[in-house]
């Protein structure tokens, strides 16, 4: 699913529909829970019978044939609890028989507050049917602790589940809990890297990675990892964010040597791929606290790049430098303002027209804030009721 439908912690239905595993692909815990007990009939006697007769005799069924919980002898003591949607259900899902059966028994376990191994096995089935059921995950965690289960085995389990469904909130949260209980992050960086190798921008993966690194102080090799990812895809915005994360939490950007290194690194990436928005945002992001206009020689370098590596991002960056200059310097206001307004108008009219309304606004704001009061294209001065319609407010900045 897109990480956006994550807002509602749901999964992409397209992907889900395609992922119906065959019985043979199911993990071991599934097969074992479906098998009936075998009897003690001697093998000599069995050989003379047909397969079906043998099966019927010993009650041993095809291990790949699913058996509903309602038909399992070892669950006969538990009364299933059907879902109560109320009298006239809405948004009623046409659950498969299997789904209904598993969840009827899950509700029964919950009702009785049963803490047992069979309950644990059932949670795995319930999770497989809907890995977004956070109530089941919570119950599973309660069971793991109450039954003092082997958490190393749980790590293996959650690893497999995440590989299969890496865009689900619950699976990552569960892994975090198990790592915390074990107090062992040793597998994490490698595991997350493996998931990122399949989708280098998986938001949950990055969230887990940042948590592990911060919690267990695993900063040392992360910058190297980020550089590797940026080598592979210099447009990976998640990697640029991670770069910022690491540096902010280790050396920081106040050391001029570090800042300069990062500026040089960024300019190098810009030259390679000038239309990569991420690097321009990064460059601005690291310089804005100090002030874009304060970095010596930067304006000159950008103006140089404008000739050979121009892009809407470069032009926007120039606007930002000029704006910072206007904010922090008292001289040359008219000249700098004029250049800034010219760029805003160029962006709005030609170079970045999808953001026409935005660049027009920026131009008007600069004009209002830094323009002299007798300028010919004044917008309404502060204090005038903005509720009065004014065509001038729509006029693009002067060229």
Partner 1 sequence: MESVSSPLRCFGECHTAEKYTDDGVETVTSVEQRKVERSIQEVVSVYKQIHSLPHTTAVFATMTEPTLLRDQHYQYLKKGLRHLSDAYECLDASRPWLCYWILHSLELLEEPVPTAIASDVCKFLAQCQSPTGGFAGGPCQAAHLAPTYAAVNALCIIGTQEAYNIIDREKLLSFLFSVKQPDGSFVMHIGGEVDVRSTYCAASVASLTNIMTPTLFQDTPTWIVSCQNWEGGLGGVPGLEAHGGYTFCGMAALVILGKEHMLDLKSLLRWVASRQMRYEGGFQGRCNKLVDGCYSFWQAGLLPLLHRALFKGGDSTLSLQKWMFEQQALQEYILLCCQNPAGGLLDKPGKSRDFYHTCYCLSGLSVAQHFGNMDLHHELIVGREENRLAPSHPVYNICPEKVAQAIQHFHQLPVPVPAQKEVSSACNTTADHS
Instruction: Out of 167, 268, 272, 284, pick the active-site residue.
Output: 167
Measured from the CB atom, is 210 or 301 closer to partner 1? 210
Measured from the CB atom, is 4 or 22 closer to partner 1? 4
Measured from the CB atom, is 9 or 46 closer to partner 1? 9
Decide: helix, strand or coil at residue 379: coil
In the complex, least distance from residue 316 CB atom to partner 1, rounded to whole angstroms: 8
Measured from the CB atom, is 46 or 83 closer to partner 1? 83
Measured from the CB atom, is 273 or 303 closer to partner 1? 273
In the complex, least distance from residue 342 CB atom to partner 1, rounded to whole angstroms: 18
Measured from the CB atom, is 175 or 302 closer to partner 1? 175
Give the residue among 317, 286, 320 at the shortest CA–CA distance from 302. 317
In the complex, least distance from residue 388 CB atom to partner 1, rounded to whole angstroms: 9
Write out the two tokens for 206. Answer: 């990055």
- Residue 370 near residue 333, CB atoms below 8 Å: yes
Residue 369 is among the residues annotated as catalytic for this protein: no
- The continuous run of DSSP H or E covering 174 comes out as helix 169-182
In the complex, least distance from residue 13 CB atom to partner 1, rounded to whole angstroms: 5
In the complex, least distance from residue 382 CB atom to partner 1, rounded to whole angstroms: 5
Look-up of token digits 């107090």: 183
Write out the two tokens for 114. Answer: 């049963």
- Residue 126 near residue 133, CB atoms below 8 Å: yes
- Residue 168 near residue 203, CB atoms below 8 Å: no
Question: How far is 80 from 67, CA to CA, in rounded Å?
Answer: 15
Look-up of token digits 């397969």: 51
Question: How far is 57 from 49, CA to CA, in rounded Å?
Answer: 10
For residue 247, give Cα distances in angstroms to 31, 41, 122, 223, 254: 48, 69, 45, 8, 10
In the complex, least distance from residue 279 CB atom to partner 1, rounded to whole angstroms: 10
Look-up of token digits 């239905």: 13
**Length reported for the chain:** 399
Annotated catalytic sites, by residue?
167
């Amino acid at each position: 699913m897109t990480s956006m439908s994550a807002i509602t912690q749901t999964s992409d239905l397209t992907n889900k529909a395609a992922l119906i595993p065959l019985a043979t692909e199911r993990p071991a815990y599934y097969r074992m829970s479906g098998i009936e007990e075998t009897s003690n009939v001697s093998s000599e006697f069995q050989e003379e019978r047909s397969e079906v007769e043998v099966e019927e005799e010993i009650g041993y069924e095809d291990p790949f044939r699913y058996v509903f919980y309602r038909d399992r002898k070892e669950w006969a003591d538990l009364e299933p609890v059907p879902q109560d949607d109320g009298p006239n259900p809405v948004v009623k899902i046409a659950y498969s028989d299997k789904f209904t059966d598993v969840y009827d028994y899950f509700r029964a376990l919950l009702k009785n507050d049963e803490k047992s191994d069979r309950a644990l096995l059932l949670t795995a089935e319930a999770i497989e049917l809907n890995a977004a059921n956070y109530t089941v995950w919570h119950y599973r965690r309660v069971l793991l602790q109450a039954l003092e289960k082997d958490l190393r085995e749980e790590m293996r389990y959650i690893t497999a589940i995440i590989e299969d469904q890496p865009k689900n909130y619950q699976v990552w949260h569960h892994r975090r809990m198990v790592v915390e209980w074990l107090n062992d992050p040793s597998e994490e960086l490698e595991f997350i890297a493996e998931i990122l190798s399949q989708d280098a921008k998986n938001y949950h993966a990055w969230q887990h990675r940042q948590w592990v690194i911060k919690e267990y102080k695993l900063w040392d090799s992360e910058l190297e990892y980020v550089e590797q990812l940026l080598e592979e895809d210099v447009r990976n915005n998640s990697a640029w964010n991670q770069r910022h994360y690491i540096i902010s939490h280790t050396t920081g950007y106040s050391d001029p040597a570090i800042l300069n290194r990062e500026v040089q690194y960024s300019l190098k990436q810009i030259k390679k791929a000038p239309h990569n928005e991420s690097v321009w945002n990064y460059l601005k992001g690291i310089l804005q606290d100090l002030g874009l206009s304060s970095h010596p020689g930067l304006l000159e370098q950008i103006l140089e790049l404008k000739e050979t590596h121009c892009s809407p991002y470069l032009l926007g960056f120039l606007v930002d430098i000029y704006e910072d200059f206007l904010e922090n310097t008292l001289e040359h206001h008219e000249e700098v303002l004029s250049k800034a307004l010219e760029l805003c108008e160029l962006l709005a009219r030609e170079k970045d027209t999808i953001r026409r309304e935005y660049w027009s606004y920026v131009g008007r704001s600069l004009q209002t804030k830094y323009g002299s009061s007798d300028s010919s294209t004044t917008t309404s001065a502060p204090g005038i009721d903005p509720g009065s319609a004014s065509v001038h407010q729509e006029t693009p900045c002067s060229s």
